[in-house]
Structure 1
Amino acid sequence: MLRYRKLSFLLCILLCITFLLGMNKVEDTKGKKIFKNISIENIDIGGLTYKEALEEINKYYKEKDININYEDKSWTIRPDEIELSYNIEKALSEAYDYTETESKLENIKRKTGLILRRNYNIDLKATYNEVKLSNFIESICKEIDVDVTQASIEIKDSGEIIRKPSKEGKEVQIIKLKEDIYNMICDKKIKSLDLPVKIVNPAITTEDIQSINTVLGQFSTSFNEHNSRGSNIHVAGKSTSEKLIMPYEIFSYNKATGARNWVNGYKTAKVIIGGKYVNGEGGGVCQVSTTIYNAALLSGMEIEEVHNHTMPSRYVPRGRDAAVSYGYTDFKFKNPYSHPIYIKNIVSNGAITSKIYGCSQDRERLYIKTEEKIDKTNIIVKTYRVYLDEENNKIREELIATSKYKLK
């Protein structure tokens, strides 16, 4: 008896489904209506014609202009300019075709599920032309972007200081703007956007260079400028001059000069190798590094790297030279102050003078002293920097370097 009731119930359901399917088929033929319980983006379009469904979806998901604003400027991206589409027509076709596959059995299964209120929802797929959007954004950047201007300083040989002020820059944050537009399109919620613009602050400000107002220390050496060595001193002196070193920044002599070869303007001249004078590329550059080294010592710079020659130099006292060899040994110092410094070299009339300019607040009273001792084969020199108070009393002294020279 129970089995008979179940069979009767199933038969009734089957007859109802068949009847409804038949009615729907007539309805499709006459009005081309979408089958019931089908939706797009959870908007019910079941029982609607194509036109009715299109109107319903467009109430919520019609492509709109994208408006971008910044201060008193505004830009409008029209949907057709970037080929923006939610592919509504494709979704409507999918809605119609969902119960019109090539398999009659599959169609019956799907219609039965829909009749039994198993909703079928179709998501809209937003698409746009990335290249065209990028081109539009690039045109906005041309209107807004402003290059940052670093403050600059130039000190003439006469000591005249010429300063040029800094200026902040502007830069459209392209990645963020694209992400905002992408998310907005994908979410299908078009709204006005504020243009994301980043203010680019100069690394070197007007205030930085304004603090450079005095010579912290200077040193001079002489040379014969009428030979290859003298020519090299001119080249190296120029390449290491007019350098602005920011607070706590490290100056590298080798980085400033580059390789000492003919491409960079250097000639063959005498250099010290293995305790002997031999011809080599860039002979004379060590005199420039030595001159700057002594100016750095007198300016209170922190010496990061310094090497002495194997033989004492003719142009500076023992313990005060700075030997360099590109790719091997360098001369480096750090600006220890909270203000920038400026290296100025003057090469003229057989002399090179290196001046280190900085803030008068950073100038200290000091002098350099050396202590020598001789062992069986070497002269050993210790170089100290001695700091004084206003009454020339010693405050402290620091060991800067220990040099070792071979006895002749």
Structure 2
Amino acid sequence: MVKIKILINKLFFLWCVIFIALLTLGMNKKENNEDGKIFKNICVEQVNIGNLTINEAKKSILKSYYPKPIYLKYNDKRWCIEPKDIRLDYNIDRSIEEAYKYTREEDKLENIKKMFNLSFKESYNINLHASYDEVKLSSIIDKICKEINVGVKQATIEIKETGQIITTESKEGIEVDIIKLKENIYDMIDKKDIKEINLPINIIKPKISTEAVKSINTILGQYSTSFNDSTSRGSNIHVAGKSTSDILIMPGEIFSYNKSTGARTWSNGYKPAKVIVGGKYVNGEGGGVCQVSTTIYNAALLAGMEIKEVHNHTFPSRYAPRGKDAAVSYGYTDFKFKNTYSHPIYIKNIVNNGAITSKIYGCRQDREKIYIRTEEKYSKDKIQVKTYRIYLDEENNKIRDELVAESKYKIK
């Protein structure tokens, strides 16, 4: 029994030596890329090209894999991207060359191992690696998008000084989802499985809808102050009043006085006028803008706005009661409020005949009965004022109140 096993092992060893010798002999045979054949059981994309010449292998692969046109569709429109337009190439020649050289490397022993595995074990598969011109593809996609994309149209509102409300309707926008489209194309090219693509479209909803602007139908709060119209200060009030007027504030948005007016400089239309600096009146650019912020502040209080930032003057103002002023200084102190309603509001300032009136329009559903009460406390050279907002029901009974601001003034 032992002798038989030894004999079998010797025969197997002898057979392996003969097989290796034959392989080595075959490898030493002079071949070229035109006439030589690819070793058996070598595949490209699972297409078996073993025992085929390079030309035969290419014909075999091209039956299943070749660059096809990419068709894009949207409604009744159709576009074709030809392979040559984007230089689409599956690099078949490169993969066939790799297959041909797989058993023809310089390391002969390694080649013998590969041949042995291919002869008795599993096949060897080589994947095609697609390439294309990304810049050209993007350019073609951009041109197609221009034919389809429609910009979103926001609804608008304009309120005249007479109170007339003019609105325009919103319109949804259409936009090709370029990221998703490119991902689809890249995936098809990578898998060598070209199919027609329905263009992925995003519907862009307007931020300001028709329903939103049409909900503005009443005055929620208004306030007026007077001034000398024939002075530089009066001129500044006109400029600041205009820059903070006709502003739509959506639900949850915050109005910033300084952001609306910008810097109070000569280039922005402001003139030198009296301002308070260090507790003293001096000439400075933009004097008078605090009267505009104060007027809007009082309208905002009566409209039920959430006051986010407000500051009082060093001395009591001549144009507003104590506790009801809003001092501003660009880059330092601001006046801000937030629209906490579920509907938008609209600021309208009217400046003429030595008076400025600020009106805050909104939805009738949001209107509340409000009045403002202040409490004053004197201490030596100062006046401390607490400002409360009182909410009433239909019978003028107090529902609730809230402390809005605490002010401190110097007594001259």
TM-score (norm 1): 0.93
Asked if 1:362 corresponds to 2:353, the answer is no
Q: What residue is the counterpart of 2:66 in the other structure? A: 62
Q: What SS does structure 2 have at the residue aligned with 1:166?
A: coil
Q: Which of 15, 19, 27 is residue 16 of structure 1 equivalent to?
A: 19
Q: Could you say if the C-alpha distance between residues 390 and 117 of structure 1 is closer, same or farther in structure 2, counting changes exceeding 3 Å? A: closer
Matches within 5 A, 1:305-344: 305-344=309-348
Matches within 5 A, 1:1-400: 6-19=9-22, 31-102=35-106, 107-400=111-404
CA shift, 1:102, in A, is 4.7
CA distance in 2, matches of 1:366, 1:109: 93
CA shift, 1:50, in A, is 2.7
Conservation of the 8 A alpha-carbon contact between 2:104 and 2:111: yes
CA distance in 2, matches of 1:87, 1:12: 40
> Which amino acid is the alignment partner of residue 79 of structure 2?
W
Conservation of the 8 A alpha-carbon contact between 1:28 and 1:34: no
CA shift, 1:107, in A, is 4.4
> Which amino acid is the alignment partner of residue 278 of structure 2?
G
Conservation of the 8 A alpha-carbon contact between 1:24 and 1:35: no
CA distance in 2, matches of 1:240, 1:305: 16
Q: Could you say if the C-alpha distance between residues 52 and 311 of structure 1 is closer, same or farther in structure 2, counting changes exceeding 3 Å? A: same
> Which amino acid is the alignment partner of residue 229 of structure 1?
R
Q: What SS does structure 1 have at the residue aligned with 2:213?
A: helix
Mind listing any 5+ residue stretches in structure 2 that lack a counterpart? none
- Identity among equivalent pairs (%): 65
CA shift, 1:191, in A, is 1.5
Conservation of the 8 A alpha-carbon contact between 2:222 and 2:302: yes
CA distance in 2, matches of 1:212, 1:277: 41
> Which amino acid is the alignment partner of residue 147 of structure 1?
G
Q: Could you say if the C-alpha distance between residues 275 and 381 of structure 1 is closer, same or farther in structure 2, counting changes exceeding 3 Å? A: same
CA distance in 2, matches of 1:358, 1:286: 24
Conservation of the 8 A alpha-carbon contact between 1:27 and 1:33: no
The two structures, once aligned, show a CA RMSD in angstroms of: 2.2
CA shift, 1:105, in A, is 5.3
Superposed CA offset, 1:133-158 (max 9, x none):
10111011101111111111011112
CA distance in 1, matches of 2:87, 2:252: 53
CA shift, 1:19, in A, is 3.8
CA distance in 2, matches of 1:14, 1:38: 24
Q: What SS does structure 1 have at the residue aligned with 2:228?
A: coil
Conservation of the 8 A alpha-carbon contact between 1:82 and 1:128: yes
> Which amino acid is the alignment partner of residue 277 of structure 1?
Y
> Which amino acid is the alignment partner of residue 36 of structure 2?
K
Conservation of the 8 A alpha-carbon contact between 2:306 and 2:340: yes
> Which amino acid is the alignment partner of residue 243 of structure 1?
I
Mind listing any 5+ residue stretches in structure 1 that lack a counterpart? none
Conservation of the 8 A alpha-carbon contact between 1:231 and 1:266: yes
Conservation of the 8 A alpha-carbon contact between 1:21 and 1:111: no
CA distance in 2, matches of 1:65, 1:14: 53
> Which amino acid is the alignment partner of residue 157 of structure 2?
I
Q: What SS does structure 1 have at the residue aligned with 2:152?
A: coil
CA distance in 2, matches of 1:182, 1:229: 64
CA shift, 1:22, in A, is 5.2
Conservation of the 8 A alpha-carbon contact between 1:211 and 1:359: yes
Q: Could you say if the C-alpha distance between residues 395 and 119 of structure 1 is closer, same or farther in structure 2, counting changes exceeding 3 Å? A: closer
Q: What SS does structure 2 have at the residue aligned with 1:39?
A: strand
CA distance in 1, matches of 2:232, 2:374: 32
CA shift, 1:7, in A, is 4.5
Superposed CA offset, 1:311-359 (max 9, x none):
0111111111000111221111111211110000111122111111111
CA distance in 2, matches of 1:280, 1:396: 42
> Which amino acid is the alignment partner of residue 384 of structure 1?
Y
CA shift, 1:371, in A, is 2.1
> Which amino acid is the alignment partner of residue 146 of structure 2?
K
> Which amino acid is the alignment partner of residue 35 of structure 1?
F
TM-score (norm 2): 0.92
